[in-house]
Structures are given as structure tokens and as C-alpha cells.
Amino acid sequence: KIKDSDYIKNQYFYIHKWFRNGIDTTLNGSYIAIPPFYPLYEGAHLVGNVIIRDFDLYKLESANDASTDPGIAYADLNDLDNTESQEGNFKRLEPGQDYSISNDLGFIRLRNRSSNEAFGCTFVLANRQTGDTLLTVGSGIIATDSTSILILKMIKPISLTPSHSTWDLMFKNVYYMGASNINKEGFAVRIVNQRQNPPSEYDLGGKPYITQFGLDSLNEAGVRQADELIDIENGSIVNMLSGELVFPTYHPFAYDSLTGGNQNPDLQSVLGQGKMYTTTTQTEINNDSRFEMQIEYTNQSSNINLGFMIVEGSEQVFVDGLELKRGVDYQIDYFSGTLVMNEDLNPNAQLNILFDKHEIVSFDKKTILGTRAQMDLGDRSFIGATALYFNQSVINEKIEVGYEPTRNFIWGVNGRYEQPLEGLTRLIDRLPIINTEKASSFSIEGEVAQVMPNPNSINNPETGDPSGVAYIDDFEGAKRTTSFPIQRRFWKASSPPLIYHSNKTLSHRNRAKMYWYNPYVQWRTKDIWPNQETSIRAQNETTDILVMNYKPLANQTLLPKDSLWAGIIATLYSGDYDQTQTKFFEIWIRSKNGSRSELSIDLGKISEDWNG
């Protein structure tokens, strides 16, 4: 069950208000037409005559390190004096890893919800047909200018409130259904009006709310006829993989026509004021809430893998600071480390799990020996000796600092001699006024001990060091990789390359038509790397690939095929320019239908001029 006010917050964002509200204008002599995000047209979003290119997303960081750059994110780049700005050190996020973007529809989805972080972006609007640049939004660091800073278009400030101008950039119509990878079998959605008496999924006229809210417009055969079942095949409404339900309007549970509310006249009398979209005061939101989504699916439990060999009873599970109870709120298998939540978590809840783990393997061996010998010399005297031996070894012969083998030997001798002096006692008792209460005696006690340590028992004959050597770091396991982008948008037509061993470039006359793309359906990872371990949890079962094709132009049919060429180029980030220490280049290629083509790869300082 999901309340109408529990939409996903701080995860989906429009990158510009144009992609939310639409725009129809002329800019620098070029016509820009972007339709509004809603309403849908026959169940799908309309796309404009522009496409997003060279998009980069940045997150404001509190620390200043090598991975960040100074910059300012402005809510309005046309009004830099506006107080709605965030200044600091920004870290560039990785596409496909930290977020995903729709280059056609102009919105992003963060991998994780982020409530107290600021985000800004830079991008280029290009003509969809010609690829010509129409508008550049924001700017990055200029490598040749040490004083340059990032100028970003703000997507979200640290604290996003309804009064902030970027408030409308956040999606308010996406709901998490409680689980991901939901099976289609048995999946059902009902929208229930809790203010009706009794609560019902039908209005007073008998119309189902799921149809009135736009989640049902097709029957199971795909014919445009409502059947009171959610349109499960419509990716603009439901995402079974991520477990998200999307209402096809900006503010589905508010009736208005000015700020993006629901405009279905049949719902006007039952919808509230939409406080969930205009305030963060929970009391007002609760008082205005009217509807509830009731969702059924087969995999209702949330599994969390903590790793093997959890110490029994050591776990503590907290949701929003409230500790949960084992057996009531969750189940746990201590051996496999699998924790199963009994109830679906709120998508905005903060989950913390503390636990201890057993060591499966002990990587060192400890030996402790001790002995004690003592000889009594009468009732009150003795002499004794003690010896202790401690040895700790490690399997690895390459010793690391802080993990050295140890061998210590401790020996000690102690003794005591005590002799009663009865005569002295009688003599003192004869003195006037003195009367002893205890007998006099003579005693002497002593102890001597020595520690013979060897903090690193493995000597190093190669260096002649008899005291042992430990490594701080030999960097044998160090590996530095530079990844080229696989996404189509990072590549563009290349300049003509130089002919090998010549200062001449290939002729434009022989440049063939080249097109490249990422298939809509990703490639199975095991089809490329059969031995790689994959799993749904690791999200690596499929992999993006870049398909490149080229063919002769109409005027090149008479030219020899082996004289034609085409190319694409991508740039490295400024931190990856220095490749002097790079030893290997790895690329995986598959030639279609055994076609004979030659692929050449140039690395270095390469002109980006299309004309050479």
C-alpha cells in the first residue's frame, strides 16, 4: 500500500524547465520546438527537434581533493546575480554508474536518492536532424586556464523547498512499489479513495479510478479500450525492472490547470488541494491526502545480502533511527548472511544495518609456551625460574608493515630468603616499655628478567638485513585504467587521420557515410566474456555496446572500396591526458558477417577539425 503523498523524492529531475513545460521559439536564428512532457500521445512521450549532447552531471562535495573542481551552480544562467546559487567544489559523476539520462526527453534518474546534496550540469542542445549546436548550457573547466571554474545549470540545491525556483524540476509522480524485478504474473494495481465511505476503487458513478488517472487505456490485446487493468506493457507508466509506477501527469493528485495538476473533470470533486506538491509540512500533507495505491505482485520480500558468517545476535537493523526486531520485522540467516524484510520499506527511508562477522580463515599461526620451576628452601624461602616463548607466523613471505611475524622469548629468575631471629625478639622484649607483638625475622627477595624480542623473524638475505624487512607498498597490485566512453553521444565524426609515415591526411573525397549507435536492447555480458560472473544483484548481466557501420555515399560507388574511410573521435578527461605510463590497450570487437574491414586506432593529441 502506497499513500498518494509518498512519491519518490530527489531521484528524478528535468535538466531544464523547457523539457518539462515545453518551448516553441527561435534562438539565434534556429527554430527550437520541444513539446511538454505531459500529456502522453497514444501512451508515449513526444520528442522535439532537439537532442541533448555532451551532458555532464556534477555533485557538490564538502571536501576539496583531486577529483573535484571549483564551480558555481546557478538556478538561472541568464541571471547570475540571483541569490539562488551554490558555490563550492563539484565532482563529476559517471553516466551509467551514478545516473542515467534521456537525451531525447531531457530528464535524469539518479542511482540513489539524495536529499541533502546539490547538483548542477552542463550540456549542449543540438538539432536532431543536422547535429548542429543550437545552445550551450553551462561550461566546464578550461584545461589551459588555471583560473577557470565550472559554470553549471543548477538542477537541485542542497535543501530543495517549494519556494525554490528548481522545485518544479523534481518529478512528483513516480512511486516505488516496494520491490524491483517484479513478475508480470499476478501483478495488479488498484487506486482506492480513502475518503469514500466505504473506501473504494470506483467512484460514485462506478468508474474505476485506475482508468480515470490514466493508468489504463488499453485492453490486453493492445486495443485502445480500458479494461480496468494497468497497461503493464507501457514503459511510460510502469517499470517492472526498477519497480516504479509513473502517473502520466505532473501532479496526479491535485486538480488544476496552471501548475500541472490532473485535468480530468471527473476527478475534480474527489481530489484535494495538492498540498504534497506545495508544502513540506507533514500535517498539512496528511490532512490533504485522499488516495492510496494497492499493489499486488509475487516477490514481496526485500532481500539484503550481508555476506557469510554473521555473528549470531550481533545485527542491529534501524529504519529512520527506529530499531527493528528480529522475527517480527525481519528474518536473518546467519550463515549465508541473508536478511529478509517482512514489510516493504518506504522508498525514502534510511536503512542502517550493523553486524559482526566471523573470520572464515586465520591467516597466521600463534604458538605460546611457558614453564615455571621452583625449589623451596625451607618453609619460607625459595628460588625459581620462569620462561615464556611466543611466536606468531604469517603465510605470506612478503611482509607488510603492521602485519609482521613476531618471536619473543622472556626468561626470569626470582627468589626469597627469610630467617626468623628469635634471639633478637627476646632481646628487644627485655628493654623497658617495649613489648613486641610479632617475632623478628630477616628477609630478602629479588627478581631479574629479560625480554629477547624479534619483531620480524623473517630476515632478508638479498639486502643483508638480519633484522627483517617489511614492505610499505611495492605497487605490484596497482593498476591504473582509463576507460573510453561506450555511449554514442560521447563520439562524433573525426578529423581526417594522417597516412602512416606521412604528413598527408586521408582525402575527404573518400570519406564514407558512417553512423554509430547503442542498441536499445543491451548485449548479454556472457556472450562477450563467457567466464565473467554475472548476477541480477550486481546489475552486470547485460552490457552496452557501440555499433559502427559505414557505407559509400551515392557519389562514391565507382571508387575502390578499400580506399574509403570513416572515423569517429572521443576526448579523454583532463585528468587522463598523460598516458606515457600506459602499457596496454584493450578493445573487444566483433565483425558482422565476417566482413573484411580495417580498424585503426590513434591515441594522442588529435585535431577535432572535421575538415582536417
Secondary structure string (H, E, C) spanning 376-397: ECCCCCEEEEEEEEEEEEECCC
Q: Within this chain, do residues 77 and 102 fall inside the same structural domain, yes or no?
A: yes
CA distance 221 to 568: 44
DSSP symbol at 170: B
| Same-domain status, 7 and 75 | yes
Q: Please check whether residue 256 lies inside any domain of the structure.
A: no
Tens digit of each residue's pLDDT (9 = 90 or more) over 179-228: 777 888 878 899 999 988 888 999 888 889 999 999 988 887 778 888 88
Cα angle: 361, vertex 364, 367; to 5 degrees: 125
Assigned domain for 186 exists = no
Average pLDDT over residues 405-434: 85
Write down the residue that cell numbers 507501457 correspond to: 234
Within-domain flag for 203: no
DSSP 80-131: TT-S-EEEEEEEEPPBTTTEEEETTTTEEEESS--SS--EEEEEEEEETTT-
Task: Choose among 97, 232, 107, 270: nearest CA to 173.
Answer: 107
Task: Determine the structural domain holding residue 31 and report its residue range.
Answer: 2-169
Residues 115 and 26 in one domain: yes
Residue 15, sorted as left (phi over 0), alpha (psi -120 to 50) or beta, turns out to be alpha
- For residues 446 and 339, membership in a common domain is answered with no
Domain annotation covers residue 183: no
551 and 486 in a common domain: yes
From the CA atom positions of the chain, what is the Rg in Å?
37
Q: Of the segments 151-160, 296-305, 538-547, which one has the largest average pLDDT value?
A: 151-160
What is the helix (H) or strand (E) element at residue 365, kind and residue range? strand 364-376
Cβ distance 189 to 215 under 8 Å? yes
Number of domains in the chain: 4
CB-CB contact of 492 with 569 (8 Å)? yes
Question: End of a domain among 398, 433, 463?
Answer: 463
pLDDT at residue 257 greater than cutoff 80: no
* Together in a domain, 438 and 329: no
Is the CB of residue 181 less than 8 Å from the CB of residue 539?
Answer: no
Of the chain, the percentage scoring pLDDT greater than 90 comes to 32
Q: Could you tell me if 128 and 10 lie in one domain?
A: yes
Lookup: cell for 8: 519518490
271 falls within a domain = no
pLDDT above 90 for 97? no
Per the domain annotation, does 94 fall within a domain?
A: yes
Within this chain, do residues 539 and 449 fall inside the same structural domain, yes or no?
no
Is residue 570 one of the residues assigned to a domain? yes
Tens digits of residue pLDDT in 443-479: 899 999 999 887 666 665 555 556 666 666 655 555 6
One domain, residues 111 and 19: yes
Is the pLDDT confidence value at 246 over 90?
yes
71 inside domain = yes
Q: How many residues does the chain have?
A: 612
For residue 20, which phi and psi values (nearest 5 degrees)? -90, -55
Q: Are residues 152 and 29 in the same domain?
A: yes
Choosing from 435, 463, 491, the residue where a domain stops is 463
Domain boundary residue, one of 463, 488, 511: 463
